[in-house]
Structure 1
Amino acid sequence: VALLLTHLLLSPRFNWSELTPLGLWGRTLGLQTENSQFLLEGMPFRIFGGSMHYFRVPREYWEDRMLKMKACGLNTLTTYVPWNLHEKERGKFDFSKNLDLRAFLSLAAKNGLWVILRPGPYICSEWDLGGLPSWLLQDPEMQLRTTYKGFTEAVDSYFDRLMRVVVPFQYKKGGPIIAVQVENEYGSYAKDPNYMTYVKMALLSRGIVELLMTSDNKNGLSFGLVEGGEYQPKMVMEYWTGWFDNWGGPHYVFDADEMVNTVASILKTGASINLYMFHGGTNFGFMNGALEADEYKSDVTSYDYDAVLTEAGDYTSKFFKLRQLFSMVIGKDKPRGQNTAPTTLFHHGIPLPLPPMIESKASYGAILLHQYISLWDVLPTLLQPIKSELPVNMENLPLNDSMGQPYGYVLYETVIFGGGQLHTQDHVRDRAQVFVNTMYVGELDYNTMELSIPEGQGFRQLRILVENRGRVNYGLTLNEQRKGLIGDVFLNKTPLRNFKIYSLEMKPAFMKRLRVSGWSTVPDYFVGPAFFRGRLWIEHQPQDTFLKLQGWEKGVVFVNGQNLGRYWKIGPQETLYLPGPWLRRGGNEIVIFEERTAGRIIQSVDIPYLGRTQYVD
């Protein structure tokens, strides 16, 4: 009790009275299992959970989404923790602003939600490299998700820092975390029989005292178990409310009635459930993952997921159908033969809270992109090249501020004499535009590995602009996710040499320098790669909106320095979500990096369009 009171005094933001029924003030037993059911402080308990990832949602909207979760009838929030954001550079940790995990956990507690934390180190989640930082791949011998020394040393260092944040928020210390997941879906990877035990001990030795869980599909359960663990068939850890989209594919949609009927059938068995996703959010920036089965497919920017709440936090029919279902379960779901609180531990005789009001969306109309600067004009003024005889992959570029580039584009430049056949030997990751001087020649990727370079007089510059479209986040090829040029490229069977290599990650510092560069009025004829700039003027309080890029081909959008993510005319996604908190009254700067064909305007609309729908059975 003394420890709890001390913690409460040191944590004035917490409103534990909303979180903790009187019968749970002891906080000694925590979440346990007994005969395939959960107990919380010795009382029967069912997890009605929903997934929401703080790193995919603007911080200003965290509490709104949590209140909507409560209004739907859920009692538990689950979230992953993205290592690659918290430790972007080796040894430099960030738990600030939108990565403030302390603030996120505090809000969950304030709003009466338990938390199941999924700290990885690998999280999958359709996130670049499954949340593992790309600098791990600087080691040519790296074996991710194994007990390889180079990997475990990095995990140990990360967990040392992460657990300083997490441990005080555990249930037994007065916090909302009732369970912690050990790694993620390891049964589908299973390259090292000692690995799961290592991760388990890494958590326990750093102060994790709550129930440990794993999550696997039915085929991977036997490989994903931790030594000493047992099956818990009464919990569906990821009930998929929808699905994610890939560039060039359809927008996947799950039928709401079918989904809710399946949830109802799960609840009838007495099982606990976690909805993945309750609120998907957005893969802002360059953080989307990819799949590589028969072919490489990168994920779109939106992580709407056809979830219970939309990408912008609006209600769907799934929300109201689930709310009705959970409201019927809550209050009836009591320990057999007892008159104590229902096993949800929250809504004893109290109706669900009213759903919060939805914020209106804005349509700001057409925005003229009236200025531009070619990439070729940016090179000599804003970018310092790296000189190398051989091509260097993105992760191993010797940059000034850190070793390696994690995301974005890399430009490889060399001198050639004459023309001929350019062949990549499948060393482009993932997509390249090829130029002779500034003349566009063609594209190279996994399917197109050869181009004809036109003949010409004298020495000319051959330029290869390579985009990292997102690292694979699931499967057995994680160790092969180095990007850029990962090996030699040949002209007439001779490997190219003596490169100037330009890093184009487009970090905030670069975008700030770009702001004061030599912009020109957009000419009558123009083509990328180039940066285009315009201004959105807002008279009143900014609201969420969506940017429609009809007439543009492929690139990235920045608003007031914030990277909204990628667009691509092949779809399915046709609008980018622009959160209101990232806008301001008055002028808002919009910068677009367009790889090829640029439009003159973009449209700010109040309705998203995520593409042609395909219903999933």
Structure 2
Amino acid sequence: MKSLNTFVLISLCLLTISSVLADLRSFSIDYKNNCFRKDGKPFQYISGSIHYSRIPREYWQDRLLKMYMTGLNAIQVYVPWNFHETVQGVYNFAGDRDLEYFLNLANQTGLLVILRPGPYICAEWEMGGLPAWLLQKPNIILRSADKEYLQAASDWLAVLLAKMRPWLYQNGGNIISVQVENEYGSYFACDYNYMRHLHTLFRLFLGEDVILFTTDGNTDKEMSCGTLEGLYATIDFGTDTNITTAFIRQRRFEPKGPLVNSEFYTGWLDHWGDKHASVDTNKVSKMLGEMLSMGASVNMYMFEGGTNFGYWNGADHDTRFRSVVTSYDYNAPLTEAGDPTDKLLAIRDVIKNFRDIPVGPMPPATPKLAYGFVTLHKVGNISSLLDTLSPQGPVRSQYPLTFEEIKQYYGFLLYRTTLPRNVPEPTPLISPLNGIHDRAYVSVNGVYQGLMERDTGLVMNITGRQGDQLDILVENMGRVNFGSYINDNKGLLGNLILGNDVLSDWSVYPLDIDTAVANGWLQSAHSGLLTEAGDGPIFYSGTLKPTGRAWDTFVKLNGWTKGQVWVNGFNLGRYWPKRGPQQTLYVPGPFLSANQLNNITVLELERAPPHCRILFMDRPQLDNTGNKT
């Protein structure tokens, strides 16, 4: 009996202690003193953006530790919906998608979290994080109170936010605030009913205590459409902005509470064919110091950019379609490979003036190795490998079908038909309604003829005989991630016309290239004797010999034109040295084997160089814009 009483007494004590600790853990807005309060004390966060979806899981801890040692006390994290629900109703939070593991690492490192769960995130990410399967509904109005969109977004948020609730700061986790939607004022819809629905949903799953906020650009229109009563309004701006003017604008929409710049731009993104973007270190450090001196809380976007592996890059469409490059280095304080820069050291020197930074050395850059040249061998063209790449065979249709209609959302589709008549003289093949989304590689009877490109190259001449096989390989270059064009269907969106004939009777082949590469089917398809280059879409493969070390490296495809690279079945992303500015692809050490042959697969879409070699270097090249072919 005595032991039972002791057990009861201890249990009551533990419950009391837990209750007291829960009361001590709080994060709130003090509107009277214009600040945040953490555990009852005034708090200013100094944060940096990092995207777990752009960094190998093996390096999450390394990047977080470097951010902590810089003096940051928080990180800002986007959650890409399409990264976790690629197929509707199927949720993936494993491996590189293990968000809770990432939050736990941040917590162990000593970093608070500002969570940005969308459902739309922009982030220069494919379709702004929205899943492409939404586009199966042709008239859907994304980011609005459209019934079908709202149902899908609500289903997703019910799953995600339930997972996030235990990670809220007041519940013992490290999430101090949660953004609702993202820069909604930049979107044409301006649908307050949509924002009210999200507000209600977030409160339902996260409770009444967590700070919910909005983030919008530095204009009255953006702040007007993006803000909502009950959501704390914050603002975005970079080094080209007057700080006082920007915060006066925030004050017009949020008269009391802390000043917050939710996206202070340390750099900028790159598009293929544009000049490499950079932001001056002195401007960044000077402006950061000024904002912190005002008592503002600041998040630096980006602090570590990472990489658009696979097909995850987004695109912009202002006057024309422009695809975002594979590297998301962003000229950030930590490079794409996670290396500290002079910009990081300058930022750390600023932060020292405002808070005690951790004692100890900054973790060094990860080791890099120049593995040297690898010669690749020709495997075959798309047509010769169709049984491997599209084992289920084609979908037959009188007229072209889009990626979304085929339910293949990323990568490539092959459209095949026959010429309806003899065309002995060069005859225009035309996409009359700009329906090439985004690049089309055209062959007749297996002979490459050339390409068509969205917005810029909608006509090309071909010749052939009636009944000749016409193959059009269409590449999805990433869906628009910002603005009014995010309903960005891919493939052939309309009819193609040859001379005066509308082409019909199509066989559309979904190409599961990633599975074929990952399973080694393409490596086993060639004899290893063919090294000659060819025109048009062709696969090449080779091996990088083990060296006893698996260190980070960068692959350069000098003389190659445009395509995709896989290492040991992992899709590194797109290369396009002819257009630039990016010349190398980042190869993280964890993707390599130190003791076994490393399989290299390249899909070159236009023309490989005669030497068929690629080079593994110990440093990146991100700033060389080639010709615009």
**TM-score normalised per structure 2:** 0.88
In structure 1, which of residues 475, 498, 505 is the aligned counterpart of residue 505 of structure 2?
498
Q: Where does residue 589 of structure 1 map in the other structure?
A: 599
The equivalent of 1:443 in structure 2 is 451
Q: How do 1:414-453 residues align onto structure 2 when only pairs under 5 Å count? A: 414-416=417-419, 417-419=421-423, 420-425=427-432, 426-445=434-453, 446-453=455-462
What SS does the corresponding residue of 2:440 show, helix, strand or coil? strand
Q: Is the 8 A contact 1:72 1:352 kept in 2?
A: no
- Which deviates more from structure 2 when the two are superposed, residues 91-100 or residues 463-472? 463-472
The aligned counterpart of 1:199 is 198
Q: For the Cα contact (< 8 Å) 2:518–2:568, is it kept in 1?
A: no
The answer for the alignment partner of 1:319 in structure 2 is 344
* Partner Cα separation in structure 2 for residue 368 and residue 545 of structure 1: 17
Deviates more, 1:494-503 or 1:49-58: 494-503
Question: Structure 1's 429 and 613: CA in aligned 2 closer, same or farther, altered over 3 A?
Answer: closer
The offset of 1:212, in angstroms, is 0.3
Contact between 1:48 and 1:273, CA under 8 Å: does it hold in 2?
yes
Q: Which moved more, 1:142-151 or 1:456-465?
A: 456-465
Question: How has the CA–CA distance of structure 1 residues 45 and 4 changed in structure 2, closer, same or farther, with 3 Å as cutoff?
Answer: farther
Q: Is the 8 A contact 2:565 2:602 kept in 1?
A: yes
Q: Are the counterparts in 2 of residues 27 and 174 from structure 1 also a CA contact under 8 Å?
A: no
Name the counterpart of 1:410.
413
Contact 2:212–2:232 (Cα < 8 Å) also in 1: no
Cα shift at 1:462: 1.2
Q: Which residue of 2 aligns with 1:243?
A: 268
Deviation string 1:235-277 (CA, Å, 9 cap, x unpaired) is: 1100000001000111111111121111111111111100000
For 1:68 and 1:535, the matched residues in 2 are separated by: 33
Structure 2: how far apart are the matches of 1:609 and 1:314?
A: 15
Q: Aligned with 1:329: secondary structure?
A: coil
Name the SS of the counterpart of 1:581 in structure 2.
helix
Give how far 1:152 is off.
Answer: 0.8
Cα deviation, 1:423-448, whole Å, max 9, x if unaligned, reads 11111101111111112222112222
Q: Provide the C-alpha distance between the structure 2 equivalents of 1:525 and 1:108, rounded to a whole number of angstroms.
A: 47
- Provide the secondary structure at the position in 2 that maps to 1:328: coil
Would you say the 8 A contact 2:214–2:232 is kept in 1?
no
C-alpha contact (below 8 Å) 1:124/1:474 kept by paired residues: yes
What are the residue-to-residue correspondences of 1:597-608 with 2, within 5 Å? 597-599=607-609, 600-608=612-620
Q: Percent identity?
A: 41
The aligned counterpart of 2:177 is 179
**In structure 2, C-alpha distance between the alignment counterparts of 1:2 and 1:253, rounded to whole Å:** 58
Question: Shift in Å at residue 516 of structure 1?
Answer: 5.8
Residue 545 of structure 2 corresponds to 537
SS at match of 1:303: coil
Q: Which residue of 2 aligns with 1:19?
A: none
1:139-158 matched pairs, under 5 angstroms: 139-158=137-156
1:72-151 to structure 2, matched below 5 A, reads: 72-151=70-149
- In structure 2, the partner of 1:215 is 215
The CA deviation string for residues 301-336 of structure 1, in whole angstroms up to 9 with x for no partner, is 0000000000000011011111111112115xxxxx
For residues 120 and 172 of structure 1, the distance between their equivalents in structure 2, rounded to whole angstroms, comes to 21
User: What displacement does 1:355 show?
Assistant: 0.9
Structure 2 Cα separation of the partners of residues 25 and 602 of structure 1: 57
Query: For residues 231 and 411 of structure 1, do their structure 2 counterparts lie closer, same or farther at Cα, with a shift above 3 Å needed?
Result: closer
Q: Which of 385, 389, 412 matches 2:394?
A: 385
**Distance in 2 between residues matched to 1:206 and 1:4, nearest whole Å:** 30
Counterparts of 1:465-614 in structure 2, within 5 Å, are 465-479=473-487, 481-509=488-516, 511-512=518-519, 514-515=521-522, 517-520=524-527, 521-568=529-576, 569-585=578-594, 586-599=596-609, 600-612=612-624
Cα shift at 1:227: 2.7
Deviation at 1:2, TM superposition (A): 8.9
Corresponding residue to 2:48 among 42, 47, 50: 50
Q: Does the 8 Å CA contact 1:4/1:173 hold for their aligned counterparts?
A: no
Distance 1:33 1:56 in 2: 35
Mapped partners of 2:388, 2:616: distance in 1: 32
Comparing 286-295 with 193-202, greater Cα deviation is found at 193-202
Shift of the alpha carbon at 1:510? 5.7
Q: Find 2:29's aligned residue among 32, 35, 54.
A: 32
User: Following the alignment from structure 1 to structure 2, what is the Cα–Cα distance between the partners of residues 230 and 63?
Assistant: 31
Change (3 A) 1:44 1:593: same
Structure 2 spans left out of the alignment, 5+ residues: 1-9, 235-249, 251-258
Task: Measure, in 1, the Cα distance between the counterparts of 2:552 and 2:14.
Answer: 41
Distance 1:312 1:491, change over 3 A: same
1:461-513 CA deviation, whole Å, 9 max, x = no partner?
1111111111110011112x000011111122332111111112523356426
Alpha-carbon offset, residue 4 of structure 1:
13
Q: Structure 1 residues 228-237 or 43-52, which shifts more?
A: 228-237
1:561 deviates by 0.6
Once the 2 structures are TM-superposed, how far is the Cα of residue 33 of structure 1 from its aligned partner? 3.5
Task: Determine the structure 1 residue equivalent to 2:227.
Answer: 225
Match of 1:166 among 160, 164, 167: 164
- Aligned length, in residue pairs: 575
User: 1:336 corresponds to which residue?
Assistant: none
Distance in 1 separating the partners of 2:384 and 2:58: 38
237, 255, 258: which one aligns with 2:283:
258
1:339 paired residue number: none
Cα distance in 2 for residues equivalent to 1:427 and 1:41? 56
Letter in 2 for 1:409: F
Q: Distance in 2 between matches of 1:374 and 1:518?
A: 11
2: CA distance, partners of 1:5 / 1:300:
54
Aligned pairs (5 A) from 1:15-26: 26=23
Query: Is contact 2:389–2:513 with CA below 8 Å preserved after alignment?
Result: no
- Supply the distance in 2 between the matched residues of 1:368 and 1:115 (Cα, whole angstroms): 45
Structure 1 gap ranges (5+): 10-22, 332-346, 398-403
For residues 395 and 587 of structure 2, the distance between their equivalents in structure 1, rounded to whole angstroms, comes to: 35
How far the C-alpha of 1:517 sits from its partner, in A, is 4.6
- Confirm or deny: 8 A CA contact 2:215 2:233 kept in the other structure: no
**Cα-Cα RMSD:** 2.3
Q: Deviations over 1:65-103 (max 9, x none)?
A: 111111111000111001011000000110000000010
Relative to structure 1, is the Cα distance of residues 511 and 584 closer, same or farther in structure 2, using a 3 angstrom cutoff? Answer: closer
Could you give the per-residue CA deviations for residues 565-608 of structure 1, whole angstroms, max 9, x where no partner exists? 00012110000000001111221100001112113110010010
Maintained 8 Å contact 1:535/1:589: yes
